[in-house]
C-alpha cells in the first residue's frame, strides 16, 4: 500500500474542514463526534427511531448533526420484488377435523344430559353414582389439600413468615466466616480410618414381634416412665475429657452435633453449636437449655407447619418437636425385649448414678476415633439395640417417624397406604423430613450400626397429641438408606474435614456456628469467653433459691 498524504487536524476530530482526500474518491464525509453514544452499529432505522421518540435528546442532537443522506437507508422496490414469501404453515389434517367433530359431539351429549338432569334429576344422580370410589377419594383429597377443616381456602403464603434465630447475636460478637450451605455439597473427602476406643452402657435385644404389625394389629405407645435418657454435651462427658487429657484426639463431639454439621445443607430451621478451643483442643457443644436435641417435624415439606391463629396449639412447630422427641424415646425402649438375660452389657454408664430410683435407657455409648488427615476426631456415638440375623449378633439404631395430621403435613394417610404401599409412605417422609433422616443416617454411619429400624407411629386421632400407636416398622441398612436419600458419604466427610481444618486454624477462644433462620447460610462468630456462662450461673442460683428453672425435661423420663 502506498503512503497517504493525510493532514492531521490538530484543532479537532476528523479531517480539516474543506479538505479533500483523493484516495477516498467521491465518498462523502460524515461528521462523527466521539461524545455520541455508540448505541447502534448502523443507521438503518434512523428515520423510524426519530419518529418513534422525537423528544429524545440523543435523537435531536443526532438530527442536528451533519448527517449525509448517503448513509441513510432507502427502500428499493425493484430489489424487494426479487424476494418471495414462502408459506410455512402446515395444512390441517383430517384428524384435526375428526377431533373437532368428536369434541362437538361430546358437548352436545353433555348439553343433553344437563337438560335431562334439569328435567327429572335422574340422569345427574345416575352420573354421580357411576363415579368410581377412587375418583371420589381423589376429589376429597384435593378439597382437603386446598381447604381447611372449616372449608375455607388455605392461605398460599403459609411457611413464608420469617423465623426467629435460635440465638440472639451479641453486639460484641465478630463474624469471622460465612458459608453458603449449597457450596458445602461440592466438598469431597475419603472416609477416615476408624478406631473403637471404649463402649459403655448396655443394649437389649430387639423384639421381632414388631415386624408383624399392621393397621389392624397396631400397638399403643407406652411411656417409659421408669427409664432415664441422657443427652450430656461434649465438654461435660467424663470419658471425652479423659481422652483429651491423654492426648488421644484433637476435636471432641457427640454424634448428634457431628450429624447436624454433616446434614447442614439440608437444614431449614435455625440451630447453633458452641465451639471452645483451649490449648489446641476443640470441644463442640450445644447450649444449655437449647432445643438442639428436639426432632424437627416436616421441616423440609413444601408447606411446613407454622404457628398461626388458625393452627391448633399442639400443632405449633415447637410442640410438634416435643411430641416427636417423646415418641422417638418411647419407641426405642418399647420395641425391646425387657429381659436381663438377653442384655449386652459393656463398661458402666458414665452418666448413671446408682442412687437414682430409675434405670438408664437401653443405649450403648460407642466412643470412636476418626482420623481425618492430620486431625483426630473423637465422637461419642449411640447404639440402641441388637438383633440376631443369620445366627450373627448385629447392632442397630432405632428411630420413629410420626404422623400428626396428613391434611396439613402434605403427606398421605398412613392407615390407608402403609399396609400395601409402605414405600410411598417412606418416600413422602423422606421428602418432608429430609434433614432429619439425613441426621439419623449420619448418626448410624458414625456409630457403625449394621441396621436401622424405622418405626411408623401415628396419633390415635389427629386432634389428640397425647396418644399414639405403632402401625408398622421397617428395617434398612444405613448405607443403603444414604444412597436412597442421595446422601454422599464422601461429601459428609468433606464437610467435616473442611470444618475441622477451619477451626484448627483459629486461635484459642470461644466461637459459635450459627445457621441463618431464613437463608441457607452458616456463619461463624468469635464471642467472649464468658458468653452463656452468666445464664448458667443464673439458672443454678434459681435452683438453689427454690425457683423453677426452665429446661429440656424429658417427656419420657428424666434428662441431664
Range with lowest mean pLDDT among 304-313, 435-444, 543-552: 543-552
Is the model's pLDDT at 282 over the cut of 90? yes
Residue 346, C-alpha cell as written in the block: 459393656
Range in 66-75, 424-433, 492-501 the model is least confident about:
66-75
On the 0-12 / 13-18 / 19+ scale of CB atoms within 10 A, 214 is exposed
- The Cα 305–Cα 159 span in angstroms is 7
Which one has a higher pLDDT value, 121 or 382?
382
Average pLDDT rounded to a whole number, residues 30-55: 52
**Mean pLDDT for the chain overall:** 80
How many CA atoms lie within 13 Å of 243's alpha carbon, on the beta-carbon side? Answer: 27
Q: What is the pLDDT of residue 548?
A: 41
Average pLDDT over residues 528-539: 71
pLDDT at residue number 478: 96
Range scoring the smallest mean pLDDT among 61-65, 256-260, 332-336: 61-65
Examine the pLDDT at 33 and tell me if it is beyond 90. Answer: no
Q: Is the pLDDT of residue 173 over 50?
A: yes
d(CA 19, CA 17): 6
Q: Which segment of 118-132, 239-253, 343-357, 367-381 scores lowest on mean pLDDT? A: 118-132
Ranges 113-127, 239-253, 308-322, 414-428, most confident: 239-253
Can you name the residues that pair with 272 across neighbouring β-strands? 514
Q: Which long-range contacts (CB under 8 A, 24 or more apart) does 505-509 make?
A: 506/176, 506/277, 507/277, 508/277, 508/278, 508/279, 508/280, 509/277
CA neighbor of 395 nearest in space, from 382, 406, 405: 382
Residue 105: band (very low, low, confident or very high) from pLDDT cuts 50, 70, 90: low
3-class DSSP assignment, residue 27: coil
User: 136 with 144: CB under 8 angstroms?
Assistant: no
Nearest to 555 by CA among 332, 331, 289, 326: 326
Beta bridge partners of 459: 468
Which of helix, strand or coil describes residue 319? helix
At 73 the pLDDT is: 57
Task: Sort 38 into a burial class: Cβ within 10 Å, 0-12 / 13-18 / 19+.
Answer: exposed
- The pLDDT value recorded for residue 140 is 61
Please tell me whether residue 223 adopts helix, strand or coil conformation: coil
Instruction: Find the mean pLDDT for residues 368-375.
Output: 94
Name the percent of the chain lying above pLDDT 90: 54
Distance CA 291, CA 319 (A): 11
pLDDT in tens, 464-484: 999 999 999 999 999 999 999
% residues pLDDT > 70 (the chain): 67
pTM of the predicted model, to two decimals? 0.70
Q: What are the pLDDT digits (tens) for 202-261?
A: 999 999 999 999 999 999 999 988 899 999 999 999 999 999 999 999 999 999 999 999
Q: What cell was used for 108? A: 352436545
Mean pLDDT of 355-384: 93
How far apart CA 177 and CA 513 sit, in angstroms, is: 9
Amino acid at each position: 500500500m502506498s503512503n497517504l498524504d493525510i493532514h492531521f487536524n490538530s484543532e479537532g476530530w476528523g479531517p480539516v474542514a474543506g479538505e479533500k482526500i483523493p484516495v477516498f474518491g467521491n465518498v462523502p464525509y460524515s461528521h462523527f463526534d466521539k461524545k455520541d453514544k455508540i448505541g447502534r452499529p448502523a443507521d438503518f432505522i434512523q428515520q423510524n427511531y426519530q419518529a418513534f421518540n422525537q423528544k429524545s435528546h440523543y435523537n435531536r442532537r443526532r438530527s442536528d448533526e451533519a448527517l449525509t443522506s448517503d448513509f441513510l437507508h432507502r427502500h428499493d422496490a425493484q430489489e424487494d420484488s426479487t424476494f418471495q414469501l414462502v408459506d410455512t404453515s402446515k395444512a390441517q389434517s383430517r384428524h384435526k377435523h375428526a377431533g373437532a367433530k368428536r369434541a362437538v359431539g361430546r358437548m352436545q351429549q353433555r348439553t343433553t344430559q344437563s337438560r335431562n338432569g334439569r328435567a327429572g334429576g335422574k340422569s345427574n344422580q345416575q352420573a354421580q353414582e357411576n363415579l368410581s370410589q377412587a375418583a371420589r377419594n381423589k376429589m376429597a383429597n384435593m378439597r382437603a389439600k386446598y381447604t381447611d377443616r372449616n372449608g375455607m381456602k388455605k392461605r398460599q403464603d403459609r411457611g413464608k413468615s420469617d423465623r426467629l434465630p435460635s440465638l440472639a447475636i451479641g453486639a460484641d460478637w465478630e463474624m469471622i466466616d460465612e458459608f453458603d450451605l449449597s457450596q458445602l455439597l461440592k466438598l469431597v473427602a475419603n472416609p477416615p480410618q476408624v478406631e473403637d476406643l471404649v463402649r459403655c452402657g448396655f443394649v437389649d435385644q430387639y423384639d421381632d414381634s414388631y415386624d408383624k404389625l399392621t393397621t389392624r394389629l397396631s400397638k399403643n405407645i407406652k411411656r417409659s416412665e421408669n427409664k432415664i435418657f441422657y443427652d450430656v454435651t461434649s465438654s461435660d462427658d467424663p470419658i471425652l475429657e479423659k481422652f483429651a487429657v491423654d492426648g488421644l484426639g484433637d476435636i471432641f463431639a457427640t454424634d448428634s452435633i457431628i450429624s447436624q454439621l454433616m446434614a447442614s445443607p439440608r437444614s431449614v430451621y435455625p440451630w447453633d453449636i458452641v465451639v471452645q478451643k483451649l490449648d489446641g483442643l476443640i470441644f463442640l457443644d450445644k447450649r444449655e437449655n437449647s432445643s438442639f436435641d428436639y426432632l424437627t417435624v416436616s421441616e423440609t415439606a413444601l408447606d411446613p407447619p407454622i404457628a398461626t391463629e388458625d393452627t391448633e396449639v399442639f400443632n405449633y412447630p415447637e410442640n410438634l418437636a416435643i411430641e416427636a422427641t417423646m415418641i422417638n424415646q418411647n419407641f426405642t425402649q418399647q420395641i425391646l425385649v425387657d429381659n436381663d438375660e438377653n442384655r449386652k452389657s459393656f463398661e458402666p454408664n458414665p452418666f448413671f448414678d446408682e442412687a437414682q430410683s430409675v434405670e438408664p435407657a437401653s443405649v450403648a455409648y460407642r466412643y470412636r476415633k476418626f482420623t481425618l488427615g492430620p486431625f483426630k476426631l473423637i465422637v461419642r456415638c449411640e447404639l440402641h439395640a441388637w438383633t440376631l440375623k443369620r445366627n450373627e449378633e448385629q447392632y442397630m439404631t432405632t428411630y420413629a417417624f410420626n404422623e400428626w395430621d396428613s391434611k396439613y403435613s402434605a403427606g398421605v394417610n398412613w392407615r390407608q397406604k402403609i399396609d400395601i404401599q409402605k414405600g410411598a409412605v417412606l418416600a413422602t417422609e423422606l421428602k418432608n423430613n429430609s434433614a432429619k433422616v439425613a441426621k439419623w443416617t449420619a448418626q448410624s454411619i458414625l456409630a457403625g450400626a449394621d441396621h436401622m429400624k424405622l418405626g411408623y407411629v401415628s396419633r390415635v386421632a389427629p386432634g389428640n397429641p397425647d396418644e399414639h400407636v405403632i402401625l408398622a416398622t421397617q428395617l434398612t441398612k444405613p448405607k443403603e438408606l444414604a444412597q436412597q436419600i442421595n446422601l454422599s458419604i464422601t461429601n459428609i466427610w468433606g464437610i467435616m474435614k473442611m470444618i475441622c481444618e477451619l477451626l484448627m486454624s483459629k486461635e484459642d477462644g470461644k466461637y459459635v456456628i450459627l445457621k441463618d433462620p431464613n437463608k441457607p447460610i452458616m456463619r461463624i462468630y468469635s464471642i467472649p469467653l464468658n458468653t452463656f456462662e452468666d445464664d448458667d450461673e443464673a439458672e443454678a442460683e434459681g435452683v438453689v433459691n427454690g425457683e423453677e428453672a426452665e429446661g429440656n425435661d424429658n417427656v419420657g423420663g428424666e434428662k441431664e
